[in-house]
A and B are shown apart, each in its own frame.
Chain A
């Protein structure tokens, strides 16, 4: 187990380093923020001065080294746009995105699990067909479209919910529903197929033969087994929900890191963009590690491979 853990962590560090290198190169090759930060009337002299101050005259490798050593000290540089440390700009928004993604995740569990199980035990019935069509639609409807449609219905037509912004609990309902829908559909489809597979296993037959109650068979024997493999996917779902928030946060004007990422790219705010990408990537990689370890715990054969 120790060797396995060591291998995985080494892999993780290499991946993270690779990500910082890629992000850094792409951003710095695309453009020079100095030109765009200054008003049009600024002279070439002003440009040179600012470039020197920001360290953009150094070779890229030196800049990368500085960036990397900064990261280890928790210093991600200054945001050009907000004129404050990039990390604090990003961290300010993290709670908003976590809140949004967290509620979306809960929604997807609450709707996804019972519906997935229902779809499986009612296999090939009308109920199953309806659920399958809906979950298919849920996976392929662009969240942008869904968000706007919800806004038109619940805000413009019915006037139940505020359209956008972050000014109270009502504001989070539509964005979290929109965001949660995709992963709800994923959970339903995955759980359904796993559940169908499990329900055909011998031990279910045995349980049936023993005369156990159907509900008990479904939840205690069927679901429990089907869910363990869904669980590993759920871990990744949490992170991808945070990534998916980019679009939802823009549509619903939710002030989280997704919105910040879009804006920072538009403003050429390198440091903030880099910080967001690196934080998100780290979340992904760490989540992956956790999932791998969990898998190894659940299924010891994995370690051998």
Chain B
């Protein structure tokens, strides 16, 4: 009797594994048929709102980009493309004229006109609404010329306006006025390729294709963005076939994932500049330019990128990635030259080296290992660095108050990031996230940022990059890469430099 039971047990286990093996196969087979029209992708954090006027964060921006349209949009490399506006031109340094496509409809069927654009920008700026982005758009005014033409007037020359307008999602004035801001945020209506269906907080956002979209109609009929904070759980969801795209893949998992034919790892540069900020507001050796330069010479950045980031990163010379306007490839990063570093340190009065503290926080790609390796390279030139792991929000506060450690590993990028924006926010005098005061740098940046003419801008931005390299208010490290794992059945989806997940072109 016992033997029969044992036999039955073994048989049933064999059958179970056999059955599941078959199941996996059939799942793979059905997935290769083009009938699948539902896309599921995963982010690590939830969106913050469905009202574009109050939206902060890349994940939110991504969902909004699928539901709403803006005057212009960007492709995955950051190149500006027409969206609602079919053309635009500069009338003068302060005035930009946009002509809208005719016949664009919101998801409720109403027509989109220049009035909607004006309403959107006016209400973002309106102080009574207390929208968080108000300060980012306060410098522009909209003037309606006719239903399909509008002028945007800025309070100073602002050539990067297109990049910024890319994030102004146009709202239906009549609908918002009718239902109010709260109701609108709950049931948003846009004019993008996807319609909003449901947002279950901390769980998922569901979208469906907009059949009346004015641009290229999406092939995907239903899209779900799921929120899975835990990276191991994200990978499990991909491996089980539940989801098609996952974000923030750890490099340690890449070789394992690439071993399967069902999914692949794809990565791409982002506009996020990673650097070791230097707290120059603190009295001490770091106020000496020679010490800051020495630290730059002491680091073999390429070795860090290859060794610690598995090449998921690109070395950067200064505050610009190749995607930014005015990027000058002739300005190269500091060479790795420990002898020169020691020389400079000695010249600055530190022949026996010095002690520094480096602050880091979790969340950066292989951040902890990266900072460890960085510190060990500093040791080679006599700089003893102690590493301080801190909570992200606590650290941000310290940066704001300039009480942060001597060096801090930091990254800046995201929506409408440009050399002007990054230079201002991270290194501008008196800016909240800056630990560097230099009116000369500010003047250069302002000049470059206001140059409408491209040649002129390129010249000024070159000067800016050369200046900041020389003065070294940071140890510029690398361009961060976004790492995604995707199911191989998914076609025509590409990572974007702005880190948003946009699904218009994706299909199975």
Contacts and interface: CB of A to CB of B under 8 A. Distances in A.
Given A41-B421, A42-B135, A255-B203, A47 B227 contact: no
Contacts of B242: 155, 162-163
B237 A164 contact: yes
Given A42-B135, A255-B203, A159 B27 contact: yes
Interface in B222-263: 226-230, 232-233, 236-237, 239-242
A157 interface: yes
Contact of B203 (A35, A36, A82, A165): A165
B200 A148 contact: no
B233 A251 contact: yes
A215 interface: no
B437 interface: no
Interface in A248-296: 250-253, 255, 259-260, 262-263, 266, 268
Contacts of B200: 166, 255
B153 to A, nearest CB: 20
A134 B432 CA distance: 55
A83 interface: yes
B459 interface: no
B240 A155 contact: yes
Given A31-B393, A41-B425, A165-B203, A156 B432 contact: no
A61 B132 CA distance: 28
Contacts of A159: 20, 23-24, 27, 240-241
B136 A253 contact: no
Contacts of A36: 393, 396-397
Contact of B424 (A32, A41, A46, A253): A41
Interface string B356-398: 0000000000000000000000000000000000001110110
A37 interface: yes
Contacts of A14: none
Interface string A35-61: 111111111101100000100000000
Given A93-B201, A151-B232, 15 more contacts: A31-B394, A35-B396, A39-B56, A39-B132, A47-B432, A53-B130, A148-B233, A151-B233, A162-B240, A164-B228, A164-B236, A166-B200, A253-B202, A253-B227, A255-B201
Interface of B: 16, 20, 23-24, 27, 45-46, 48-49, 54, 56, 130, 132-136, 200-204, 226-230, 232-233, 236-237, 239-242, 392-394, 396-397, 400, 412, 421, 424-426, 430-433
22 contacts: A31-B393, A32-B397, A35-B396, A40-B426, A40-B433, A41-B136, A42-B135, A43-B135, A44-B430, A82-B201, A83-B54, A148-B233, A155-B237, A155-B240, A156-B236, A157-B20, A162-B242, A163-B240, A250-B230, A255-B203, A262-B229, A266-B392
